[in-house]
């Protein structure tokens, strides 16, 4: 029985340590956090420079408006991020400046994103049968036409 009690204590210790890490990563009183830094810190994007590029490209919206990378995010803001073919919708619960572990990062926002599409729904384009050899020019053009249709472009557009 003491083993179960020890496991509960260690889980509680881990949670308190995670909360302490998030508090340490948070801004000091009066400081703000940039949106590109925040989406990087909560692990929505791999690098801060990718976060800045997403903001510049118009892929990040805060409360429905496009924002620049230096926009100061606040608790309660709704952040919409289009990244890797899917849209993430999160509500800011806690501000942090430094990147923290995934369990702590998840506590900093509420995820309202739609679930990702199932893997079966995303059909791989261009898979050839084994032993079919190198694609011909005609095969290549057919594949390009398929990829253009998947992206929403015109079939004959270059």
DSSP bridge pairs for 83: 86
Asked whether residue 65 carries a pLDDT value surpassing 90, the answer given is yes
Q: What is the pTM of this model?
A: 0.64
Give the confidence band of 18 by pLDDT, cuts at 50, 70, 90.
low
Phi, psi values for residue 111, rounded to 5°: -90, 115
- The pLDDT of residue 79: 95
Asked whether residue 100 carries a pLDDT value surpassing 80, the answer given is yes
Provide the 3-class DSSP secondary structure of residue 28. coil
Q: What is the Cα Rg of the chain in Å? A: 22
- Spatial separation of the C-alpha atoms in residues 71 and 74, rounded to whole Å: 10
């Amino acid at each position: 029985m003491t083993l179960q009690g020890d496991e509960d204590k260690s889980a509680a210790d881990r949670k308190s340590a995670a909360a302490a890490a998030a508090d340490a990563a948070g801004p000091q009183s009066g400081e703000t956090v940039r949106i590109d830094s925040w989406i990087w810190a909560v692990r929505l994007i791999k690098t801060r420079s990718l976060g800045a590029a997403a903001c510049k490209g118009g892929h990040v919206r805060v409360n429905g408006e496009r924002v620049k990378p230096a926009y100061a995010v606040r608790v309660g803001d709704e952040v919409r991020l289009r990244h890797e073919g899917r849209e993430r919708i999160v509500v800011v619960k806690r501000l942090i400046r430094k990147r923290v572990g995934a369990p702590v990062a998840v506590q900093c926002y509420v995820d309202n994103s739609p679930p990702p599409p199932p893997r079966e729904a995303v059909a791989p384009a261009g898979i050839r049968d084994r032993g079919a050899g190198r694609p011909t020019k005609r095969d290549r053009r057919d594949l390009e036409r398929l990829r253009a249709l998947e992206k929403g472009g015109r079939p004959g557009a270059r």
